Chain A
Amino acid sequence: MRKNTSYIKDSAITVGLLIAAFASSLLFLQFDVEEHITTVFVFAVFLISLFTNGYTYGVLAAVAGTLAVNYAFTFPYFALNFTIPVNLISAIVLIVLSLLTSALTTKLKQHEAMKAESEKESMRANLLRAVSHDLRTPLTTIYGSSTTLLENSRAMTEEQKTKIVNGIKEDAEWLIRMVENLLSVTRLDSGQVKIIKTPTILDELIDSVILKFKKRYPNQKVVLELPDDVVMIPMDAILIEQVIINILENAVQHAIGMTSLTLRVFTRGTSAVFEIADNGYGIDPKRMETLFTGHYASEHEVADSKKKNAGIGLSVCATIIKAHGGSIKAENLNTGGAVFRFALDTEEINDETE
C-alpha cells in the first residue's frame, strides 16, 4: 500500500519537474537565452534526485533531460546529435550529477532511519532493564508469602495471615499494572510506531480513567474540571487512558504531602490540553531531566528500592504521547506541587445527530 503510493508520488515529482523544466526552457528560447537551458535541466535533475527514493527516478530524469536538451534546445534543433562535444559533455554532467545526488540522499535517509531505530532500541533496552529488576521484587513477596502460608499457617495468628495475604494482593496488583504498561509498549511496537487513532469522546475517556483509578485507589479523590461542550479527540483510547492513569498514580506514590489531585482538560484552538496537577512536594529538580526517559531508575537504583516503578510509567507516557504526535511536560508549580501537561488534537463534530 505505502510502497504503491510512494511510486505514484515519486513518478509525479519526476514528471512534474521535467515538464516545468521543459516549459521554462521554451520560455528561455523565446527570450534568446538558450545557453542557460542546460542549467535548468541540471537543476531539475538535482531536485528530482533529492526528493525521490533511490537512483531510478534521478537517472531516468537525467536521460530524459539529456535527450530533451539535445533534441529540442541545442543545435541542430529537433534532431539528436551527440557528436558535438558540448552536447556530449552536458549529457555526462547530467547523469553524473543525478547519480551523486541520489547516492547522497539515499545515504542520508538510511542514516536517519538508523538513528530512529537505535533510539527506539535504547528506549526498549532501558525499559527492559528497569522492568526485569522491578519484577523480581513483587515476585519475591508473592512466592515467599504463599510458601510461608502453606508451610506455617498453623503457627500463625489470623492477623499475621491477613497481613501476608494483603502483601500478596498488593504486589500482584503492582504486577498487573506493570504488565499493562508493557502491553501498551508492545501495542505501540506492533503498530510500528504508527498508532491507530479512533475518534473518542472526552467524557467517555475520563469516565473510564476515573473508574479504573478509583478501583485501585478508592480513597483518593480526583477533582475533575472538564469543558462543557462535547469534545471529540482522535486517539488510541486504551493508550491515552494508560497515560492519564500512570500520571495520577505517579502523583499518589510520589507527591509527598498531597491533599488534592486535579485532572483538568480544556480546549485551546483545535487542541485539547490535559493537565494533571497535585499540591504535593513537587518534583526534585535533579530528576526533571530524566523524568520521562526511565534512566533514573536504572542508574540510581538502590538495593532495596521499594518497587515504585520509578520512571517506567512516565517513560511509557512519553512514548505514547510522542506516538500521538505530541509531547509531555512536567513542571513545579509556584504554589507547591507539580503539574503534568500534554495536548492532543481535537476533531470537529459536524452536527448530524439526527
Chain B
Amino acid sequence: MKQNKYVILLVEDETNIRNLIATMLETAGYQTIVAGSCSEAKTLYASYLPDLIILDLGLPDMDGMNLLNFVRQNSLTPIIVLSARTNEADKILALDSGANDYVTKPFGSGELLARVRAILRNNRFSAEEGRLPGGRFVLKDLCIDYDARQVFVKEEVIKLTQTEYNIVAFLSENCGKMMTYAAIIKAIWGDYVQEGSIKKLQVNMANIRRKIGDKPGEGEQNYITNELGVGYRLNE
C-alpha cells in the first residue's frame, strides 16, 4: 500500500450516501475524512488541508455554495460538486464559482473515481499539463504551437480562424476542466453573455470540432466533449 495517500474531504449529509462514497474512495486507496454539515466541513478543511473536496450542494445548515466560496477565498484545492439537481443552472453556478467539476446523482463508482483521478492528476501538473518546452501543447494526435498560433492533428496543420484558434488555446490551458459558456465567452470576446453570444460560440465550436475530426457520439475518443446547456471540456 502506498504510504502517502491523497486525503479527500467528503461533505455529504445523507448518511447512506456518505458511507457509500467513503467506501468507494477508501477501496480505491484514498484517505477519506467525512463531514455532515457545512460548519463541520470548514473545521475539518482547516485542520486537514485535504487534496480534494467532494461537496454535496444540499446541506442542512448552509448551502454547499457557501463552503465552495469559503475555500476559494484563499485556496485552489480542487472541488468536485455532487448535485442531485439535473438543473444546468446549478452546475453553471458551481463551475463559475470555482468548482473544478461536478458529478450528478445518481452516479456509479466508476464515474466518480474517474473524475477524482482526473482532477488529482490534473492538479498536480496544474496548467503545465501537456505543455512542452517551447510553448507547445500535446494531447494524443493534437498539437498546439502557441508561438506560431497553429494547431496540428497528426502533424497536419488545421486551418482555424483567429477566434477558433483562441477558443482551442483557451480550452487547452484548462485541459480536463469543464468550461462554462460564460467563462469561454469572457476569455475570448471579453464579453458577458448576451443575446446571441452563446450561439456564436456554439457555431465556432461546431466548426472547430469538425476541423479537428471530432465525431458525435465518440465520447472520450473525441478531443472536445460538450455538456448541453453548460459548456465544453478538452478531454485529457
CA distance A60 to B8 in the complex (A): 72
User: How many whole Å from A110's CB to the nearest CB in chain B?
Assistant: 35
Please, which residue of chain A has its CB at the minimum distance from the CB of B85? A183
Interface string of B174-196 (1 = CB under 8 A from A): 00000000000000000000000
Please, which residue of chain A has its CB at the minimum distance from the CB of B162? A354
Do residues B163 and A230 form an inter-chain contact, with CB atoms below 8 A?
no
- Interface of chain B: mostly helix, strand, loop or mixed: helix
Contact of B209 with A by CB under 8 A: yes
User: Which residues of chain A are within 8 angstroms of B88 by Cβ–Cβ distance?
Assistant: 238
Q: How large is the interface on B (under 10, 10 to 19, 20 to 34, 35 or more residues)?
A: 20 to 34
Report A192-239 residues with CB < 8 Å from chain B CB.
198-201, 203-211, 214, 222, 224, 226, 230, 232, 237-238
CA distance A199 to B199 in the complex (A): 7
Do residues B217 and A204 form an inter-chain contact, with CB atoms below 8 A?
no
CA distance A237 to B161 in the complex (A): 28
CA distance A70 to B207 in the complex (A): 69
Do residues A201 and B162 form an inter-chain contact, with CB atoms below 8 A?
no
Do residues A232 and B202 form an inter-chain contact, with CB atoms below 8 A?
yes
CA distance A203 to B199 in the complex (A): 14
Interface string of B8-21 (1 = CB under 8 A from A): 00000000000000
CA distance A200 to B106 in the complex (A): 26
User: Which residues of chain B are within 8 angstroms of A224 by Cβ–Cβ distance?
Assistant: 216-217
User: How many whole Å from B226's CB to the nearest CB in chain A?
Assistant: 5
User: Which residues of chain B are within 8 angstroms of A209 by Cβ–Cβ distance?
Assistant: 217
Do residues A353 and B207 form an inter-chain contact, with CB atoms below 8 A?
yes
Report B136-186 residues with CB < 8 Å from chain A CB.
161-164
Contacts A210-B217, A238-B86 known; A201 to B205 CB distance under 8 Å? yes
Report B192-233 residues with CB < 8 Å from chain A CB.
198-200, 202-207, 209-210, 216-219, 222, 225-229
User: How many whole Å from A49's CB to the nearest CB in chain B?
Assistant: 39
User: How many whole Å from A268's CB to the nearest CB in chain B?
Assistant: 20
User: How many whole Å from A178's CB to the nearest CB in chain B?
Assistant: 12
Contacts A238-B228, A241-B228 known; A203 to B216 CB distance under 8 Å? yes
Q: How large is the interface on A (under 10, 10 to 19, 20 to 34, 35 or more residues)?
A: 20 to 34
Contact of A304 with B by CB under 8 A: no
**In the complex, which of the residues B86, B217, B229 contacts A211, with contact meaning CB atoms closer than 8 Å?**
B217
Do residues A226 and B216 form an inter-chain contact, with CB atoms below 8 A?
yes
Contacts A200-B228, A353-B163, A354-B163 known; A230 to B207 CB distance under 8 Å? yes
* 21 residue pairs bridging A and B, Cβ less than 8 Å apart: A176-B106, A180-B86, A198-B229, A201-B202, A203-B216, A204-B206, A204-B216, A206-B216, A208-B226, A209-B217, A210-B216, A210-B219, A211-B225, A214-B217, A222-B217, A230-B203, A232-B199, A238-B228, A352-B200, A353-B164, A353-B207
Pairs A-B, 5 closest by C-beta atoms: A210-B217, A206-B216, A207-B216, A237-B228, A230-B206
List B residues at the A interface (Cβ < 8 Å).
86, 88, 106, 161-164, 198-200, 202-207, 209-210, 216-219, 222, 225-229
List A residues at the B interface (Cβ < 8 Å).
172, 176, 180, 183, 198-201, 203-211, 214, 222, 224, 226, 230, 232, 237-238, 241, 349, 352-354
A198-B229, A203-B216, A210-B219 known, 7 other contacts, Cβ within 8 Å? A199-B199, A200-B228, A201-B202, A201-B203, A208-B226, A222-B217, A241-B228
